[in-house]
Amino acid sequence: MIIGVTGTRLRRFEYGGWIAVALSGAAMVVGVLIAFGEAMSPGNYTNVQITWFHVAGAPGTFPNGFTLVMGTLVDPISSLMLVVVTVVGFVVMLYSIGYMHHDKGLPRYYAELSLFLAAMNGLVISNNLIEFFLFWELVGLCSYFLIGFYYEKPSAASAAKEAFLVTRIGDIMFLLGIFLYFSHYATAGPNGGWAANGFVFVHGTTPFLAPSIRGSSTLITVAGIMILGGAAGKSAQFPLHVWLPDAMEGPTTVSALIHAATMVAAGVYLLAVASLFLGFTSFDSLVIVAIGGFTAFFAATMAVVHPDIKRVIAYSTISQLGYMVLAIGAGFAMVGLYHLFTHAFFKALLFLAAGSVIHALGTQDLFKMGGLKKPMKLTAAAFAIGGLALAGIPPFAGFWSKDDVLSSVYSQLGAHPAYWPFFVMAFAAVFLTAYYIFRAWFLAFSGDRIRDPTLPAAHEGPWVMQVPLVILSAFAVGAGLFVFLPGFQGLLLGGAGVAGIPPAYGTADVFLSAVSVLLAAGGIGLAALLWGNGRVFSLADSSVAQPLRRLLLHRYYFKVGYDWIGAKGVYTVSRAADFFDRYVIDGTVHGLERMFGAMSDRLRRMQSGLVSDYAAYIVAGLLGLFAILLVVAPFLIARFGGS
């Protein structure tokens, strides 16, 4: 069934995006059906696998050898992700028909997008870590292609490279993490033999779940940190967050699909899977919580001042991913995935709405827009719905999931006081989130005219762009309410199967919810006050806040710092490598060359051309042969024995 999904996707060719749309639509139907079936029978695992190769056991390593399998696994988590990936994938594919209409290189675009979707689906339904990693890399590759889609633009090309290299750091850590877990589970641990079985997530009909005791072995701690590193690279968590805002150089559709809904979610998915199947130590959990909470806040601050509509949304993505990481770190993997689920829809909605604006105006600068709500009613409404969902205003989707995140972390504060600062950060980010997203909304849509009169008159996109907005709006409103459906709850609960799930979703701590809603409302109010009705709020140059603004605009100078490190560090390493290359490798090579040159020079003189000389060599060789046969060989036989 699942192979059918990826199979049809992989068989991509041809120009027409309609083929891609049709195939992704079919995949969506299949994906949703799978999830539906899974929801009807929670706790059901379907695992199909074939043996890829088998390594025979060597003494002292694996008693039974090591088998690597390729397979697909449908369980509650993967079917949840399948819904996200296929639905958003289909919607974005449809939207692309309108959005990308005037671009060249469309076959390339659809091929890459389809490959991405196939890889993403493969990743979601992988049944073992190795296969997971393969698809993970494939997804990263597609991301590189798509960010650099406008490869003539130097900024796009460099953004693609940046994204690739930064995520590569994470990938290497991920791989190291796999190796560490491998060496651990191969020999010891409650899941002994699990690694020898090729990291398959299930065994028969029982899932391999993480040991309930989160061991304190140093190895496992380090392995957990490594896995976190991989996830942080993919999900743009601090300190590997720098690539995501730059990734906005790609087409907006790509941003919506890859850098909002799916690929960046892969990191979160990895963390969730790891926490369920591998287990983290308490130290790991603390680090994960810290990174998640800090990133949620940190990214939100950067979004506050940015003038680029897409980058504001990009920062909010980083921030929201921070929430998910936070929840997983606190031990609530399924809460994190729940937020991922809702976030995917409203974030894709925001991106597509922004894309609709960009499509109409040809600019991404918020300060040039304004007054768009009249010509673009649908887009304005969609963006507002997405914004409300993001800000966490009930009953929109974001409210339910974000509240679950906050309240689940809150429930752990008693046991882990060290989580406090990160909880507070995440809470503060609620306010910032509401503020910046509505700042963007007011700047773009409110007022009565466009600020930059040179821009073309705004208009709505064709129907293929409007339909996705409507679909996603519906999800952004309703996805949070899914949690009240027993089937969906079963999906979340069944996926967990481990302790640490709040008793019921959607019934978060009332006081906490009230505070967060008030904060969000406050943020929206502030945005309305400063930017509403076409107003532009600008800080006085003398204001004490100016340096702060500059700091935020320059993204805390992180990129500059990384560039500096890159330039200096790489230069130093290169110098060392150059030295090594020049003197050690080249020295060896040239030395050998000179040696052989000298030797052959001597030998050359033997080639006199004189027949008698050659005859003499023959005779000398013969004598030598006799000497060996008569003297040396008998000696050796006498010395070492012979048959």
Q: Which of 58, 529, 615, 625 binds other proteins (CB under 8 A)?
A: 615
Q: Which of 206, 542, 608, 643 binds other proteins (CB under 8 A)?
A: 608
What's the CA gap between 45 and 531, in Å, rounded?
51
The 288-317 contact track toward other proteins, x by CB under 8 A, reads ------------------------------
Of the two residues 206 and 607, which places its CB atom closer to other proteins in the complex? 607
Question: Interface with other proteins includes 616 (CB under 8 A)?
Answer: yes
Window of 58-66, 397-405, 564-572, 600-608 that interacts with other proteins by CB under 8 A? 600-608
Question: Interface with other proteins includes 204 (CB under 8 A)?
Answer: no
Count of residues near other proteins by CB under 8 A: 10
Of the two residues 560 and 619, which places its CB atom closer to other proteins in the complex? 619
CB within 8 A of 614, min separation 6: which ones? none
Residue 616 Cβ vs other proteins, minimum distance, rounded to whole Å? 6
Question: Interface with other proteins includes 59 (CB under 8 A)?
Answer: no
Window of 278-286, 299-307, 377-385, 604-612 that interacts with other proteins by CB under 8 A? 604-612
Of the two residues 213 and 610, which places its CB atom closer to other proteins in the complex? 610
Q: Hunting for tokens 């302790």 — which residue is that?
A: 499
Question: Interface with other proteins includes 576 (CB under 8 A)?
Answer: no
Residue among 5, 426, 501 at smallest CA distance from 272 = 501
Residue 632 Cβ vs other proteins, minimum distance, rounded to whole Å? 23
Instruction: Pull the structure tokens for residue 272.
Output: 């969730």
Q: Hunting for tokens 């850590």 — which residue is that?
A: 173
Question: Interface with other proteins includes 206 (CB under 8 A)?
Answer: no
Residue among 270, 323, 333, 281 at smallest CA distance from 135 = 270
Question: Interface with other proteins includes 602 (CB under 8 A)?
Answer: no
Q: Which of 609, 638, 639, 642 binds other proteins (CB under 8 A)?
A: 609
Instruction: Pull the structure tokens for residue 293.
Output: 């909470």
Window of 230-238, 391-399, 560-568, 611-619 that interacts with other proteins by CB under 8 A? 611-619
Residue 611 Cβ vs other proteins, minimum distance, rounded to whole Å? 5
Q: Which of 567, 619, 628, 630 binds other proteins (CB under 8 A)?
A: 619
Of the two residues 518 and 615, which places its CB atom closer to other proteins in the complex? 615
Of the two residues 553 and 599, which places its CB atom closer to other proteins in the complex? 599
Asked if residue 386 lies in contact with residue 346, where contact means CB atoms within 8 angstroms, the answer is: yes
What's the CA gap between 304 and 582, in Å, rounded?
50
Asked if residue 252 lies in contact with residue 310, where contact means CB atoms within 8 angstroms, the answer is: yes
Residue among 312, 318, 305, 302 at smallest CA distance from 260 = 318
Angle between helix 510-531 and 377-391 (nearest 10): 140
In terms of DSSP H, where are the helices of 242-329? 243-246, 252-256, 263-277, 282-305, 309-329
Of the two residues 213 and 611, which places its CB atom closer to other proteins in the complex? 611
102 phi, psi to nearest 5 deg: -90, 0
Window of 39-47, 153-161, 572-580, 601-609 that interacts with other proteins by CB under 8 A? 601-609
Residue among 465, 474, 473, 467 at smallest CA distance from 95 = 465
Of the two residues 454 and 612, which places its CB atom closer to other proteins in the complex? 612
Amino acid at the residue 366:
L
Residue 625 Cβ vs other proteins, minimum distance, rounded to whole Å? 15
642 phi, psi to nearest 5 deg: -150, 175
Question: Interface with other proteins includes 3 (CB under 8 A)?
Answer: no
Question: Interface with other proteins includes 607 (CB under 8 A)?
Answer: yes
Residue 597 Cβ vs other proteins, minimum distance, rounded to whole Å? 14
What's the CA gap between 234 and 236, in Å, rounded?
6
Residue 635 Cβ vs other proteins, minimum distance, rounded to whole Å? 25
Asked if residue 102 lies in contact with residue 275, where contact means CB atoms within 8 angstroms, the answer is: no
Identify the DSSP state of 348: H
Of the two residues 542 and 608, which places its CB atom closer to other proteins in the complex? 608
Annotate 133-186 with DSSP letters as a single string.
Answer: HHHHHHHHHHHHHHHTTSTTSHHHHHHHHHHHHHHHHHHHHHHHHHHHHHHHHH
Residue 629 Cβ vs other proteins, minimum distance, rounded to whole Å? 17
Q: Is the dihedral of CA 155, 157, 161, 167 positive or negative?
A: positive
What's the CA gap between 384 and 350, in Å, rounded?
8
- The number of angstroms, rounded, from the C-alpha of 359 to the middle of its chain's C-alpha atoms is 26
Question: Interface with other proteins includes 536 (CB under 8 A)?
Answer: no
Instruction: Pull the structure tokens for residue 84.
Output: 């996200």
Q: Which of 454, 542, 612, 643 binds other proteins (CB under 8 A)?
A: 612
Of the two residues 452 and 613, which places its CB atom closer to other proteins in the complex? 613
What's the CA gap between 410 and 424, in Å, rounded?
10
Q: CA dist 23 to 93, 114, 251, 263, 441, Å?
A: 10, 9, 21, 20, 34
Q: Which of 611, 639, 640, 642 binds other proteins (CB under 8 A)?
A: 611
Q: Which of 56, 604, 639, 643 binds other proteins (CB under 8 A)?
A: 604
For other proteins, the binding residues (CB under 8 A) are 604, 607-612, 615-616, 619
